[in-house]
Amino acid sequence: MNNPLPNIPEPSSPEHDLLRNAGSLPVLTPGLRDRVLLNCHQQVRYGRRIDQLRIAGSVVAACLMVMVIWTYHSSGRHVPQTEPAPHDTASQESIKQDVPPRTYPYSNPGVIAEDAGTVETDEDGKPLPQGGPSLRHQSMPEMKQLDQMLEKLQNRHNVLCGLLPYL
Amino acid sequence: MIPIPSSDFQANFRNCVIRLAETPELALAEMFDLTAQRLVRFAITITGNQPDAEDAMQGAFSRIAFRPRLLARADAPWPYLIRTVRNEALRIIKKRKWTGIEVAERGAVAESAESHLVHEETADTVRRLLKTLPKNQYEVVILKHWEELTFAEIGEALGLSQNTVASRYRYAMEKLQRSLEPLVR
């Protein structure tokens, strides 16, 4: 790429002087100065007014933003506690029975803090041997129901598997 | 009217621009006295007639009065003002084309320049020769010789790169020198 700048001489030749001298200034129309300056004064005033309105608008917008944020935060702190809707207990229980358990129903057989202080005894009053699976879950009616359901499912599985043809 | 030397002009113009933010009315009045004729002279090269050139200059002053900070913050205020005038002049030309009031002045002037070349005064002849240049080259030569702008400033005023401006100037001067040789002798 060639750079044209170094090849251009400074305007100093007679041709350049001719060009420079040809640039005489025009005589302006009478009254143009007053007309232009009057228009300028109006524009200055108009521009100032627009600036003031813009500043006022920005302040109002900022205040509104602060108000909205403050209202949002204050309403977030005092959210009224909504009471739970009355449930149909019977239907809830039926749902519980139908829903299969997500996890295996046996609990951890380790020592439970609540049971730690109590020592179970036999008919003679001798303490029973500790350890083994906790029987605590058996006391819960829901767990019993779940055990029964699992047994039923296992039985159905066995029946269905028996019906399948041997390959 | 004797034109102000370029260095004084630039310094005075910068003073006006500095005062534009504080006292726009006074600064604009002073700026008008300082620049109006130069701006109209430049605008005539685009519009082809003085009334439109004066309108372009008035439009540019209105814009500056509405937003004085634009000029005050410009890196090169004088090329910025020239550019504003140029944009206004181009807008007027476009409007004129839309309204159908086409002034076919340039061609007519060029023809009359050919026929009356010998009888015109030197300055007039040079001006007519300048008008035979393509418009983009004409602008560059005017800004270089009449407004004494650098190529960088002309680039700023016309929205062109410095190299493009320099190329246009070189082509224009090659053409002009052939035409101007008889006048130099």
Encode pLDDT of A12-40 as tens digits.
Answer: 677 787 787 777 788 898 999 999 999 99
Does residue B104 carry a pLDDT above 50?
no
ipTM: 0.72
Which of B1, B130, B151 is nearest residue A25 as measured by Cβ atoms?
A: B1
What are A139-162's pLDDT values in tens digits? Answer: 678 888 899 999 999 888 887 777
Strand partners, B179: none
Give long-range contacts, CB 8 A cutoff, 24+ apart: B5-12.
Answer: B6/B148, B9/B34, B10/B78
Does residue B1 carry a pLDDT above 90?
no
Last residue of a domain, one of B46, B69, B103: B103
Residues B19 and B47 in one domain: yes
CA distance A73 to chain B (A): 40
Residues B98 and B31 in one domain: yes
The confidence score (pLDDT) of residue B107 equals: 45
Last residue of a domain, one of B83, B103, B123: B103
Express as a percent the part of chain A with pLDDT over 70: 54
The confidence score (pLDDT) of residue A139 equals: 63
Residues B98 and B109 in one domain: no
A38-42, A70-74, A132-136, B59-63: segment of lowest average pLDDT: A132-136
The confidence score (pLDDT) of residue A103 equals: 57
Does residue B76 carry a pLDDT above 80?
yes
Non-local CB neighbours of A158 within 8 Å, separated by 6+ positions: none
Would an 8 Å CB–CB cutoff place B175 in contact with chain A?
Answer: no
Those of residues 2-41 in B touching chain A at CB distance below 8 A are 3, 24-25, 28-29, 32-33, 36-38, 40-41
Non-local CB neighbours of B30 within 8 Å, separated by 6+ positions: B16, B19
Would an 8 Å CB–CB cutoff place A43 in contact with chain B?
Answer: yes
Residues B20 and B94 in one domain: yes
Residue B122 token pair:
């030197």
Q: Return the CA Rg of chain A.
A: 47
Does residue A57 carry a pLDDT above 90?
yes
Does residue B115 carry a pLDDT above 50?
no
Range of the domain at B118: 104-185
Residues of B in contact with A26 (CB under 8 A): 37, 40-41, 44, 50, 53
Residues B83 and B123 in one domain: no
Express as a percent the part of chain B with pLDDT over 70: 82
Residues B116 and B129 in one domain: yes
First-to-last alpha carbon distance for chain A, in angstroms, is: 83
Which of B37, B64, B130 is nearest residue A26 as measured by Cβ atoms?
A: B37
> Which of B173, B174, B175, B183 is most worth mutating to test chain A (most A CB atoms within 10 A of its CB)?
B173
Residues B60 and B114 in one domain: no
Task: Determine, for residues B122 and A33 on separate chains, whether the beta-carbon distance falls below 8 Å.
Answer: no
Q: How far is CA A21 from CA A102, B26, B126, in A?
A: 99, 32, 9
Residue A166: pLDDT band (50, 70, 90) is low
Residues of A in contact with B127 (CB under 8 A): 22
Residue B100: pLDDT band (50, 70, 90) is low
Which of B25, B58, B166 is nearest residue A36 as measured by Cβ atoms?
A: B58
Last residue of a domain, one of B56, B83, B103: B103
Does residue B84 carry a pLDDT above 90?
yes
Residues B50 and B117 in one domain: no
B34, B12 in Cβ contact below 8 A?
Answer: yes
The confidence score (pLDDT) of residue A79 equals: 52
Which of A7, A21, A47 is nearest residue B123 as measured by Cβ atoms?
A: A21
The confidence score (pLDDT) of residue B52 equals: 92
Would an 8 Å CB–CB cutoff place A44 in contact with chain B?
Answer: yes
Residue A106: pLDDT band (50, 70, 90) is low
Residues of A in contact with B38 (CB under 8 A): 25
Residues B67 and B138 in one domain: no
When divided into structural domains, chain B yields a total of 2
Residues B73 and B135 in one domain: no
Task: Determine, for residues A43 and B66 on separate chains, whether the beta-carbon distance falls below 8 Å.
Answer: yes
The confidence score (pLDDT) of residue B101 equals: 53
The confidence score (pLDDT) of residue B110 equals: 47
A57-61, A115-119, B77-81: segment of lowest average pLDDT: A115-119
When pLDDT is averaged across residues B75-87 and rounded to a whole number, the result is 92
Which of A3, A29, A40 is nearest residue B28 as measured by Cβ atoms?
A: A40
